[in-house]
């Protein structure tokens, strides 16, 4: 088992130099990538530099932000940034949504390598150790130029904390507890730096019980059912993460190496998976056991970067290589939707199993002459995927996918105040999926009198598909910071596209948890659209104002369309078919921070997303509601305390067969204390989420369909001890 999991990664990383060094993430495709020894860049200066380098709106979560808003879950932590939402699956999984776009439209990159898993499903979250994150940069808007077609809605860039500047042995211990699900977690990091070498090893573990609800009942099987003890049954779980980061730097050469493994086991609420049965809601007397149904997720990732700076910074070249293996299994007591199907002899309760292997490589060459107003970047990306499936009931077919892209970016600086950038990219993609027919399904349909075309349309559990795609993406934008830099204006217009995924092309069956028949369309065209972003920022000693409106038009936006046809498959309901449609996205984010005194500050953030399916004349599904956060904070002497009123509007603009969600007002509070202990600084954070224990529904939640409210009052304590 060890060889099967780890040898491909060891082999891949052995093909390059023993890694190391430069903890460098591309601040922007046209920004400089240079290592500077002995120079400490503050979070504020980094933020300003990144804003000036990108014509797209940016949100940056530094170490202080991550510590103050940490939940043990990366996506839920980022919800405090305007325009970013979390699509939750209980307390175990979450996936990011940026400006109403999620799934395969958002790219997540860690240390330069795109995270690849089963992100096509609403019940599939990120598999990244939240304790090992040093900084997160969120790009809102079309990021296809940098990351390819899967980033047409935006990108999330995750990087680790930089190593210390001097030679030393270092580390940190973090302990976290949460009351809503009796969670206890911890992370231990040990590192060493000696001259140009450094290494960092981290181990993290979290365990949590069934989470508490601020309600006594839920709607299940169209009936209101009691929730015993106000705990949502079988939502307990645990997570184990281990990672190694090593690096070396000498002169103009730097290299880095990462090896990580994430393992998660989390229960599913029985009312949201499998064949509905009210008896499955009965209390089992143990809030920490993980019973059927549950999921097992393991993510192994290896990555390496090699970088060299030529001619005193006139040219910088780097290459990223990566290997990932994502294993996902869902276990549920064997059940058949039609007579004749026999349980598998081996692992009869393994409902589905996905194994996704991803090999990726990317190269960049940046050309920059000191004193010149021009900067150029050329790039190349290639990725190969192989997905295999198993279990007695799966929706996604086996497939092979290959993509390659080439890009050119140019930035022109006519003056220190103005930067103009433009770029173009071409991507090629090929996908092949295996056909699969179920003999038990054929016998069931034949017995019910289906023949001819009707039988032919249902017999394919997955369609045979062999498609090739190719298209251009590009953007033009500017950043203007006149005068002393108090005002900043930016705008960007871009064309992007996305290759349809295997589920959209080839699936044909019941999607458990969604309780519907989902059907792919083998002849789908790629998604295509134009996106316009703008931004204005004003910043003075006591006031910071930011406004970011956006507009996007898609000529072929792929979505699940209810057909009005009742499926012949048992427990399937209506057929939903993947279809392309003309669609519009529009909205804005705004933030205002006012320093009332030297210690007291008030901050307001607001966001709004409007979606419209032009063909159907309705909103698109999973459109986040408008929201406003009012925060009053006091900071002084290493201590800060804040109170927040979060207001979420009702979402009544919904897609067909999607339920409206009422609005809510929530109160949160947080206190953070940091004190110097020798050469280190100890941090303690205490927060209370949903202080009044208000019952409310999350429009983006996986459990929204079952009218299950969000978790109740949650008191979190985090203690961080560097050494």
330-375 pLDDT tens trace: 998 887 766 667 788 888 999 889 999 999 999 999 998 777 899 9
Is the model's pLDDT at 272 over the cut of 70?
A: no
Beta bridge partners of 493: 476, 532
Q: What whole-number distance in Å separates Cα of residue 285 and Cα of residue 236?
A: 13
Is the model's pLDDT at 299 over the cut of 60?
A: yes
- In this prediction, residue 303 carries a pLDDT of 96
- In this prediction, residue 245 carries a pLDDT of 95
- Mean pLDDT over residues 248-267, rounded? 94
Contacts of 449 (CB under 8 A, 6+ apart): none
- In this prediction, residue 24 carries a pLDDT of 33
Beta bridge partners of 168: 193
- In this prediction, residue 277 carries a pLDDT of 65
Contacts of 263 (CB under 8 A, 6+ apart): 239, 240, 241, 296, 297, 298, 299
Confirm if 114 and 259 have CB atoms less than 8 A apart. Answer: no
- In this prediction, residue 485 carries a pLDDT of 80
pLDDT band at residue 119, thresholds of 50, 70 and 90? Answer: confident
If DSSP states are collapsed to H, E and C, what string results for 349-413?
Answer: CEEEEEEEEEEEEEEEEEEECCCCCEEEEEEEEEEEEEEEEECCCCCCCCEEEEEEEEEEEEEEE
- In this prediction, residue 155 carries a pLDDT of 93
pLDDT digits (tens, 9 = 90+) for 612-621: 999 999 999 8
Peptide bond into 293 cis (omega under 30): yes
Average pLDDT, the chain: 86
Q: What whole-number distance in Å separates Cα of residue 276 and Cα of residue 269?
A: 11
- In this prediction, residue 723 carries a pLDDT of 87
- Mean pLDDT over residues 229-245, rounded? 93
| Domain residue spans of the chain | 2-722
Is the model's pLDDT at 400 over the cut of 70?
A: yes
pLDDT band at residue 459, thresholds of 50, 70 and 90? Answer: confident
- Mean pLDDT over residues 237-249, rounded? 96
Structure-model confidence comparison of residues 5 and 215, the more confident one: 215
Q: What percent of the chain has pLDDT over 90?
A: 57
Q: Which fold has domain 2-722?
A: Maltoporin; Chain A (2.40.170)
pLDDT band at residue 141, thresholds of 50, 70 and 90? Answer: confident
pLDDT digits (tens, 9 = 90+) for 626-672: 999 999 999 998 899 999 999 999 999 999 888 899 999 999 999 99
- In this prediction, residue 90 carries a pLDDT of 67
Is the model's pLDDT at 14 over the cut of 70?
A: no
CB atoms inside a 10 Å sphere around CB 437: 11
Mean pLDDT is lowest, of 2-11, 135-144, 193-202, for: 2-11
- In this prediction, residue 341 carries a pLDDT of 73
Is the model's pLDDT at 476 over the cut of 90?
A: yes
- In this prediction, residue 34 carries a pLDDT of 37
Structure-model confidence comparison of residues 585 and 702, the more confident one: 585
CA distances from 243 to 73, 77, 299 (A): 17, 21, 11
CB atoms inside a 10 Å sphere around CB 472: 13
> E strands, 450-526, where?
460-462, 465-480, 487-498, 508-511, 516-519
- Mean pLDDT over residues 479-488, rounded? 89
pLDDT digits (tens, 9 = 90+) for 19-30: 333 333 333 333
- In this prediction, residue 334 carries a pLDDT of 85
Nearest to 560 by CA among 521, 526, 523: 521
pLDDT digits (tens, 9 = 90+) for 146-158: 888 889 899 999 9
- In this prediction, residue 337 carries a pLDDT of 66
Confirm if 324 and 312 have CB atoms less than 8 A apart. Answer: no
Find the angle CA(62)-CA(549)-CA(700) to the nearest 5 degrees: 70
Pairing of strands 106-110, 154-159: parallel
pLDDT digits (tens, 9 = 90+) for 305-338: 999 999 777 899 999 999 999 999 999 888 776 6
- In this prediction, residue 72 carries a pLDDT of 79
- Mean pLDDT over residues 502-518, rounded? 81
- In this prediction, residue 609 carries a pLDDT of 97
Structure-model confidence comparison of residues 124 and 658, the more confident one: 658
Judged by DSSP in three states, 58 sits in strand
The angle that helices 452-459 and 439-447 make with each other, rounded to 10 degrees, is 150
């Amino acid at each position: 088992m060890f060889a099967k999991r780890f040898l491909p990664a060891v082999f891949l990383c052995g093909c390059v130099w023993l890694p190391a060094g430069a903890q460098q993430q591309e601040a922007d495709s046209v920004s400089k990538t240079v290592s500077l020894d002995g120079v400490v860049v503050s979070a504020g200066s980094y933020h300003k530099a990144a804003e000036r380098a990108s014509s797209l709106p940016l949100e940056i979560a530094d170490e202080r932000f991550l510590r103050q808003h940490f939940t043990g879950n990366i996506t839920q932590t980022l919800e405090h940034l305007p325009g970013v939402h979390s699509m939750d699956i209980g307390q175990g999984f979450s996936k990011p949504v940026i400006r109403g776009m999620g799934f395969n439209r958002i790219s997540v990159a860690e240390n330069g390598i795109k995270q690849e898993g089963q992100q096509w499903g609403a019940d599939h979250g990120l598999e990244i150790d939240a304790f090992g994150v040093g900084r997160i940069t969120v790009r809102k808007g079309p990021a296809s130029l940098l990351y390819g077609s899967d980033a047409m809605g935006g990108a999330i860039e995750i990087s680790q904390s930089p190593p210390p500047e001097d030679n030393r042995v270092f580390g940190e211990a973090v302990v976290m507890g949460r009351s809503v699900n009796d969670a206890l977690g911890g992370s231990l990091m040990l590192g060493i730096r000696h001259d140009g070498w450094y290494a960092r090893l981290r181990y993290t573990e979290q365990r949590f019980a069934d989470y508490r609800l601020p309600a006594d009942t839920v709607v299940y099987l169209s009936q209101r059912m009691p929730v015993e003890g106000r705990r949502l049954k079988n939502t307990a779980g645990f997570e184990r993460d281990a990672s190694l980061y090593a690096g070396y730097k000498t002169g103009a050469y730097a290299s880095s190496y990462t090896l990580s493994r994430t393992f998660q086991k989390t229960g599913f609420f029985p009312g949201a998976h499998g064949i509905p049965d009210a008896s499955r809601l009965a209390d089992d007397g143990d809030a920490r056991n993980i019973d059927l149904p549950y999921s097992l997720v393991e993510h192994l990732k290896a990555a390496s970067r090699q970088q060299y700076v030529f001619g005193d910074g006139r040219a910088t070249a780097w290459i990223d290589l990566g290997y990932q293996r994502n294993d996902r299994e869902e276990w549920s007591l064997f059940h058949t939707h039609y007579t004749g199907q026999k349980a598998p002899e081996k692992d009869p309760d393994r409902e589905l199993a996905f194994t996704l292997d991803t090999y990726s490589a990317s190269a960049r060459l940046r050309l920059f002459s000191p004193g010149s107003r021009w900067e150029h970047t050329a790039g190349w990306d290639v990725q190969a995927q192989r997905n295999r499936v198993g279990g007695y009931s799966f929706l996604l077919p086996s497939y092979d996918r290959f993509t390659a892209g080439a890009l050119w970016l140019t930035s022109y600086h006519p003056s220190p105040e103005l930067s103009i950038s433009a770029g173009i990219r071409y991507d090629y993609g090929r996908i092949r999926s295996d056909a699969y027919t179920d003999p038990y399904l054929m016998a069931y349909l034949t017995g019910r009198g289906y023949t001819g075309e009707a039988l032919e349309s249902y017999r394919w559990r997955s369609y045979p598909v062999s498609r090739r795609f190719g298209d251009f993406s590009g953007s033009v934008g500017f950043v203007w910071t006149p005068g002393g830099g108090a005002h900043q204006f930016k705008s960007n217009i871009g064309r992007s596209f996305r290759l349809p995924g295997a589920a959209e092309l080839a699936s044909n069956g019941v999607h458990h948890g969604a309780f519907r028949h989902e059907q792919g369309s083998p002849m789908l065209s790629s998604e295509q659209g134009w996106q316009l972003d703008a931004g204005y920022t004003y910043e003075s000693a006591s006031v910071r104002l930011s406004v970011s409106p956006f507009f996007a038009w898609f000529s072929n936006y792929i979505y699940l369309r209810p057909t009005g046809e009742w499926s012949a498959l048992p427990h399937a309901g209506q057929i939903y078919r993947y279809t392309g449609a003309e669609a519009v996205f529009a909205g804005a984010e705004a933030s205002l921070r006012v320093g009332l005194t030297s210690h007291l500050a008030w901050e307001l953030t607001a966001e709004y997303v409007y979606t419209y399916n032009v063909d159907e004349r309705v909103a698109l599904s999973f459109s986040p509601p408008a929201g406003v956060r009012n925060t009053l904070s006091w900071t002084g002497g290493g201590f800060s305390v804040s109170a927040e009123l979060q207001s979420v509007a009702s979402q009544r603009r919904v897609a067909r067969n999607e339920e409206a969600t009422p609005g809510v007002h929530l109160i949160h509070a947080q206190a953070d204390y940091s004190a110097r202990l020798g050469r280190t600084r100890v941090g303690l954070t205490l927060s209370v989420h949903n202080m009044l224990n208000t019952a409310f529904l999350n429009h983006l939640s996986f459990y929204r369909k079952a009218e299950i409210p969000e978790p109740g009052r949650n008191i979190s304590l985090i203690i961080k001890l560097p050494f």
